[in-house]
């Protein structure tokens, strides 16, 4: 109990830092239980891992907020933020008393995370605590104050219903339930995304996810695409539905095209109230596709886009340690389809031009049999007709997509206009000279023959034995920075994985790789391997990514798409 903890800490005051090791164990602090799961060995090592919990009935959280999975995710997100606020705003911060305690910092998204878990009996907050030191000595008395006074006070302020704003909590839960209700309604409405009128899409800066603020022009739907929905709470939302099929966003430079696409891309996650994107909801599997030259690839069938390379390499099973712009974009696209993506989001700014289009003059100069690339414009219809994969594409520099697009929307001064009829007319007047899909659902250029199928039967990729076990692996995978994972001796670079939004997701991906490696002895098919892990996360929760019981670290849930992305970027991967 408390006295034991104080006594232990007082006795090690001024002794070597390693004497903190004695802290491991559980202590009762009033109505809270403190569990010290892992103690750092020196002041410069990663902080110690602790959990503080209390009984659900003592927290007095309304049961109706916790009776479904979404409610529990929303409440734990709310409590995590409240805990973070209490750490940085309370009197303890002014005196510096809470310095060293962290619960992880959620961003603009509401993600399933391990920072606060709610079970039938308990509410548990997971903390990392840098235990106080002077040089390499333990400051035991200071630690005693931190753990037995400051920490319970903060937990009191953040975990008890009586200290929270009950209305704010309730609307946090209602918002997430409504957002996810809308997401489930998208499919029946045959939409890949919805953006409500009044949404604020632009961000403060390229490296900030916060809203731009007063200068932003509110989103407004073009009439032709306007839709309304009634949500679980009775709330109504009206805005633009982006239909399934092929949608092209056009407009002059700097008129807001990329900003719109980026909002749709982030819409796979729910955003907090006040973010401006809380009513931008995208089908959950949508995947951003970009060129990523230099990435590795293992046995990916990119033959729909690239075949007959001068090197003679077989692009039905393309491997490379240094893919080019076009081959990397083809690889990203096929892997996304493999991961179950039903919508692809592509921006001209981050695409390889020769992957996307080829103009008439070039088609005349270089005969088709000398050009290994079949551009995306010739395949985008087949992706939808054979595989049901929609595309939302930003193209301000080329009208090549007009005839293959179901809808074309133009941005002018950040405001949308439906220009489908006009663009289709322009396309009819300026027909391309080379064979092109005349009707929107033709499978591709005539030379392929009508029976040619490209996307409906992608071969399963089967891992080669042991390919997921790094040679001489000694340590578990770990994240190094927000977009890098160290796995064995390799660094997995996730810089180009656009829908990775939280460093805690990267941390979770590192752990996911270790779990995939364990399972890869029994399951060799990449898609099935990831599916199994995702099912396990659904049933056993995010904690199951950790090999240990107790504090699993600060993890946030990545989608299946990001798990695929991390696995596929491991340079040691080899497939049959």
| Contact positions vs Mg ion (CB under 5 A) | 257-258, 349
Given Mg ion, ligand ADP, none, residue 44, with its beta carbon under 5 to 8 Å by kind, binds none
Residue nearer to Mg ion on the CB measure, 323 or 411: 411
| Residue 253, contacted partner among Mg ion, ligand ADP, none, CB below 5-8 A by kind | ligand ADP
199 binds ligand ADP (CB under 6 A): no
Of how many residues is the chain composed? 576
Which partner from the list ligand ADP, Mg ion, none does 202 bind, CB cut-off 5 to 8 Å by kind?
ligand ADP
Q: What's the closest the beta carbon of residue 292 comes to ligand ADP, in angstroms?
A: 19
By DSSP bridging, strand 203-205 and strand 246-251 are: unpaired
The interface partner of residue 569, options being Mg ion, ligand ADP, none and the CB cut-off 5 to 8 Å by kind, is none
User: What is the rounded distance in angstroms from the CA atom of residue 487 to the CA atom of residue 480?
Assistant: 10
Q: Which of 104, 202, 211, 340 binds ligand ADP (CB under 6 A)?
A: 202
Q: Which C-beta is closer to Mg ion: that of 257 or that of 266?
A: 257
CA distance 556 to 452: 42
Sign for the pseudo-dihedral over CA of 566, 569, 571, 576 = positive
Q: Are 344 and 381 in contact (CB under 8 A)?
A: no
- Report the C-alpha gap between 489 and 485 in whole angstroms: 10
DSSP per-residue letters across 238-255: EEEEEESSEEEEEE-TTS
CB of 400 to ligand ADP, least distance (A): 18
Residues between 143 and 172 that touch ligand ADP (CB under 6 A)? none
Stretch that binds ligand ADP, among 247-255, 277-285, 435-443, 519-527 (CB under 6 A): 247-255
Q: Among all residues, whose Cβ is closest to Mg ion?
A: 258
Residue 236 CB, shortest distance to ligand ADP, in Å, is 23
Q: How far is the CB of 244 from Mg ion (least distance, A)?
A: 24
d(CA 303, CA 476): 36
Contact partner at residue 414 from Mg ion, ligand ADP, none, CB < 5 to 8 Å by partner kind: ligand ADP
Considering the complex, what minimum distance in angstroms separates the CB of residue 111 from ligand ADP? 24
How many Å apart are CA 344 and CA 287, to the nearest integer?
5
C-beta of 97 vs 250, nearer to Mg ion: 250
What does 254 interact with, of ligand ADP, Mg ion, none (CB < 5 to 8 A by kind)?
A: ligand ADP
Rounded CA separation 84/287 (Å): 31
Report the residue number, 152 or 239, with the smaller CB distance to ligand ADP: 239
Would you say 72 or 257 has its CB closer to Mg ion?
257
Kindly tell me which of 280 and 443 has the beta carbon lying closer to ligand ADP: 280
To Mg ion, the closest distance from the beta carbon of 287 in angstroms equals 19
The binder of 135, among ligand ADP, Mg ion, none, by C-beta within 5 to 8 A per type, is: none
| Closer CB to ligand ADP, 201 or 225, in the complex | 201
- Distance of alpha carbon 75 from alpha carbon 60, whole angstroms: 13
Identity of the residue, 81 or 262, whose beta carbon is nearer to ligand ADP in the bound complex: 262
Interface with ligand ADP in residues 415-434 (CB under 6 A): none
Q: Please identify, using beta-carbon distances, which residue of 289 and 567 lies nearer to ligand ADP.
A: 289
Q: What is the spatial distance between Cα 315 and Cα 277, in angstroms, rounded to a whole number? A: 40
State residue 417 phi and psi, 5-degree precision.
-140, 140
Question: How many Å apart are CA 54 and CA 393, to the nearest integer?
Answer: 49
Find the shortest distance in angstroms from Cβ 214 to ligand ADP.
10
Closest CA to 189 of 234, 226, 235: 226
Q: Which of residues 203-222 bind ligand ADP (CB under 6 A)?
A: 212, 215-217
| 261 Cβ contact list (under 8 Å, min separation 6) | 249, 345, 347, 392, 394
Concatenate the DSSP letters of all residues of 346-402 into one string.
EEGGGS-HHHH---HHHHHHS-GGG--B--GGGTHHHHHHHH--EEEEE-SS--TTG
- Asked if residues 227 and 191 have their Cβ atoms less than 8 Å apart, the reply is yes
CB of 430 to ligand ADP, least distance (A): 23
Q: Is 345 helix (H, G, I), strand (E, B) or coil?
A: strand
Round the CA-based radius of gyration of the chain to a whole number and report it.
26
Pick from 414, 455, 487, 570 the residue near ligand ADP by CB under 6 A: 414
Q: Please measure the distance between the N-terminal and C-terminal CA atoms of the chain and give it in whole angstroms.
A: 57
| Closer CB to Mg ion, 248 or 510, in the complex | 248
| Residues in 248-267 at the binding interface with ligand ADP, rule: CB under 6 A | 251, 253-259
Closest contact distance (angstroms) between CB of 396 and Mg ion is 7
505 and 556 Cβ atoms separated by less than 8 Å: yes
Give the residue among 272, 336, 221, 265 at the shortest CA–CA distance from 77.
272
| Of 44 and 254, CB closest to Mg ion | 254
Query: If we measure between CA atoms, which residue out of 347, 159, 155 comes closest to residue 251?
Result: 347
CA 473 to chain centre: 27
Total residues at interface with ligand ADP (CB under 6 A): 15
Binding stretches for ligand ADP (CB under 6 A):
201-202, 212, 215-217, 251, 253-259, 414
């Amino acid at each position: 109990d408390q006295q034991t903890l104080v006594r232990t800490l007082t006795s090690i005051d001024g002794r070597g830092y390693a004497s903190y090791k004695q802290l491991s164990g559980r202590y009762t602090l009033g109505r809270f239980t403190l569990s010290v799961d892992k103690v750092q060995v020196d002041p410069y090592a990663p902080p110690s891992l602790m959990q503080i919990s209390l009984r659900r009935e003592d927290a007095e959280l309304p049961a109706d907020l916790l009776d479904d999975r979404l409610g529990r995710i929303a409440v734990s997100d709310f409590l995590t933020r409240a805990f973070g606020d209490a750490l940085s705003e309370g009197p303890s911060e002014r005196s510096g008393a809470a310095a060293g305690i962290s619960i992880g910092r959620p961003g603009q998204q509401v993600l399933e995370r391990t920072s606060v878990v709610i079970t039938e009996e308990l509410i548990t907050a997971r903390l990392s605590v840098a235990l106080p030191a002077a040089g390499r000595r333990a400051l035991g008395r200071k630690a005693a104050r931190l753990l037995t006074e400051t920490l319970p006070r903060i937990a009191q302020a953040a975990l008890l219903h009586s200290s929270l704003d009950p209305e704010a909590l309730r609307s946090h839960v209602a918002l997430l339930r409504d957002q996810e209700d809308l997401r489930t309604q998208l499919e029946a409405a045959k939409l890949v995304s919805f953006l409500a009128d009044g949404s604020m899409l632009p961000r403060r800066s390229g490296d900030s996810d916060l809203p731009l603020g007063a200068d932003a022009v509110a989103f407004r739907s073009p009439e032709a695409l306007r839709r309304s929905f009634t949500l679980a709470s009775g709330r109504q939302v009206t805005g633009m539905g982006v239909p399934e099929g092929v949608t092209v966003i056009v407009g002059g430079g700097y008129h807001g095209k990329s900003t719109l696409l980026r909002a749709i891309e982030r819409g796979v996650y729910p955003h907090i109230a006040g973010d401006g994107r809380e009513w931008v909801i995208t089908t959950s599997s949508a995947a951003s596709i970009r060129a990523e030259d230099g990435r590795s690839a293992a046995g990916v069938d990119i033959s729909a886009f690239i075949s007959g390379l001068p090197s003679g390499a077989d692009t039905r099973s393309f491997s490379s340690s240094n893919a080019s712009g076009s081959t990397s974009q083809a690889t990203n696209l096929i892997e996304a389809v493999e991961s179950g993506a039903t919508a692809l989001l592509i921006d001209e700014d981050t695409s390889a031009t020769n992957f996307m289009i080829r103009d008439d003059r070039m088609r005349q100069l270089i005969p088709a049999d000398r050009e290994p690339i079949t551009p995306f414009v010739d395949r985008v219809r087949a992706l939808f007709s054979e595989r049901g994969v929609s595309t939302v594409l930003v193209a301000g520099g080329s009208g090549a997509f007009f005839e293959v697009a179901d809808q074309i929307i133009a941005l002018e001064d950040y405001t949308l206009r439906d220009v489908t009829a006009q663009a289709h007319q322009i396309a009819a007047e300026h027909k391309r000279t080379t064979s092109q899909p005349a009707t929107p659902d033709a499978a591709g250029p005539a030379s392929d023959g009508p029976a040619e199928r490209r996307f409906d039967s992608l071969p399963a990729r089967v891992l080669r034995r042991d390919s997921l076990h790094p040679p001489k692996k000694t340590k578990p995978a770990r994240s190094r920075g927000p977009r890098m994972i160290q796995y064995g001796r390799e660094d997995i670079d996730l810089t180009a994985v656009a829908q990775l939004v939280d460093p805690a997701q990267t941390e979770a991906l590192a752990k996911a790789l270790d779990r995939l490696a364990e399972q890869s002895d029994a399951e060799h098919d990449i898609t099935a391997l990831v599916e199994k892990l995702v099912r396990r996360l659904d049933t056993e929760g995010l904690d199951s990514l950790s090999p240990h019981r107790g504090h699993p670290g600060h993890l946030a849930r990545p989608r299946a798409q990001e798990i695929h992305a991390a696995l596929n970027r491991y340079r040691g991967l080899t497939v049959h």
